[in-house]
Chain A
Amino acid sequence: MAFESISDVEIERLLALPKRVSNPGARDSRIEGRLQRNYDVVGEGQEYKFQLYTRQNIRPGMDDDFSCGLSWLAPNGETLTLCRYNGPHLDHFNRLEHEWLEATCHIHRTTERYIQAGFKPEGHASTTDRYRTLTGALHCLVTDCRISGIETQPDEPTLFPLP
């Protein structure tokens, strides 16, 4: 399937499909100054394959440079990022809306609009205060995308929210 023809309905269906991590023992690899981990994920009925990934910059002062995301491994061999949960390391620019998000945690979502406009499918992002760390971001992603098979923890509530 060419991604040009994918609709928001199909994207939502892929996101909401119950999924399970098939290699829950996956560990972090230290590569080029970051920790990265990739989980293999299968959708209900084994028909759909996904990849769940985490990235954490481990250079001093870069704790907030983290991401985790979910990609769909399409049967045609292409990969579509369905969503990505970013840390607050820097701003984000929504091209279609011509709006800058300030440096806060933000969630990228693939949308039909961005695909149709010829932009990166996951080019739209929204700010969020649901997490502050990679651990919390992964918990949100796994919950939102109905992924089972790994233990995750939400961030503890804080009395001192980030500015």
Chain B
Amino acid sequence: MNADLLQLQESLCKAMCSEVRVLPKNKELAIIRTPFTFPDGDPYQVYLKQLPGGLLRVSDMGHTLGHLSYENDTTKFRKGTRGKLFDQILAEGEVAEDDGEFYVDAEPDNLASAIFRLSHALIKLNDITFLNRARAESTFYEDLRESLMRIVPGAKISEDYVYEAMDNARDYPIDYRIEGKHAPLFVFGVPNKDKARLATIVLERLKRANADFDSLLIFADQGTIPRPDLARLSNVGGEMIASLDARDDFERKLLRKVA
């Protein structure tokens, strides 16, 4: 590399420094403005306060979990898979927590490092929201689609199918219609109990309309569906696949029905 690294470093330092500002907030706190923002454009909040003995505390003053609570139940961040990630993020950054406030205590000479460590941890904590239910369901539908397309030629599949030969047909959508051997195969993805109930209603409606079809119900995790909902769905539905992990069952049951 031929560039003048020293000069590059100097200009980079200037540019990065200009992105960071220290502003007074009140008698106890100063704001450290950094360029790091939540996805909605609000900045991660980093504050500075003096501690006895000359130490400085770099803290988010509890704002991060407050911000994440707009769309998430943050108490879930401390349980299960999320909880493990949560603890790991804090441990890796050597970030402490007090009732939802994240902070790093540092000597004045180590302030920059403390700010980077805290900011890095806050950004990673935001990523825990990727594990929310809606995203997990969305991923399930993407995986379902990919699995179907892998087994059946796309030309035989209609997505978001509506069986027009009944009243208010658009209120009773079918995830997939696949050309079947004897009758069309209607496929429903079932990531949760709400969808199990909806699929039950749609299947009942199709039966009342004397539709000629087979059905295949594919669960994200059949074990999470409450027993009464599962029983009702079993009464009206056809073949079931407990999860997309049951790849062989899925392929066998699907190919048995497909033209």
Residues of A within 8 A of B138 (CB): 78
Tell yes or no: A20 within 8 A of B by CB: no
> Are B100 and A93 neighbours in the complex by a CB distance under 8 Å?
no
Residue pairs across A and B with Cβ atoms less than 8 A apart, 28 shown, are A32-B74, A33-B62, A34-B62, A34-B65, A34-B69, A34-B100, A55-B70, A59-B101, A61-B25, A62-B61, A62-B63, A65-B61, A67-B66, A69-B70, A71-B70, A77-B134, A81-B40, A81-B70, A84-B70, A89-B45, A90-B33, A91-B43, A92-B42, A93-B42, A119-B39, A120-B38, A120-B41, A125-B42
Quick one: closest A residue to B72, CB to CB?
A79
Cβ of A77 and Cβ of B137 under 8 Å apart? yes
B70 contacts A77, C-beta separation under 8 Å: no
Q: A31-B75, A59-B61, A61-B26 are in contact. Are A123 and B40 (CB under 8 A)?
A: yes
Residue of A nearest to B77 (CB): A32
In the complex, A125 Cα to B41 Cα: how many Å?
9
A108 touches B43 (CB 8 A): no
Partner of A71, one of B61, B63, B71: B71
A60 within 8 A of B: yes
Footprint of B on A, CB under 8 Å? 31-34, 36, 53, 55, 57, 59-62, 65, 67, 69, 71, 77-79, 81, 84, 86, 89-95, 108, 119-120, 122-125
Is B10 located at the chain interface by the 8 A CB criterion? Answer: no
For B29, the chain A residues whose CB sits under 8 A away are 61
Any A CB within 8 A of the CB of B113: no
Q: Which of A36, A62, A91 contacts B69 (CB 8 A)?
A: A36
Q: Answer whether residue B159 sits at the interface, using C-beta atoms and an 8 A cutoff.
A: no
The smallest C-beta distance from B50 to any residue of chain A, in angstroms, reads 13
- Interface of B toward A, CB cutoff 8 Å: 25-29, 31, 33, 37-43, 45, 61-63, 65-67, 69-71, 74-75, 99-101, 133-134, 137-138, 192, 194-195
Complex partner residue of B42 from A36, A60, A90, CB under 8 angstroms: A90
A33 with B100: CB separation less than 8 A: yes
- How long is the Cα–Cα vector from A77 to B65 in the complex, in angstroms? 23
Q: Please measure, in the bound complex, the distance between the C-alpha atom of A95 and the C-alpha atom of B25, giving whole angstroms.
A: 25
The answer to whether A78 touches B101, judged by C-beta atoms less than 8 angstroms apart, is no
- Cα separation A65 to B42 with both chains bound (whole Å): 12
Residues of B within 8 Å of A120, CB to CB, are: 38-41
Q: Which residue of A lies closest to B37 (CB)?
A: A93
Name the residue on B nearest A30 (C-beta): B99
Given the known inter-chain contacts A90-B42, A91-B43, A93-B43, please indicate yes or no for A79 contacting B134, CB distance below 8 A: yes
User: What's the minimum C-beta distance from A96 to chain B, rounded to whole angstroms?
Assistant: 9
Residue of B nearest to A124 (CB): B41
* Cα(A123)–Cα(B40), bound, Å: 4
Within the complex, what minimum Cβ distance (angstroms) separates B68 from chain A?
10
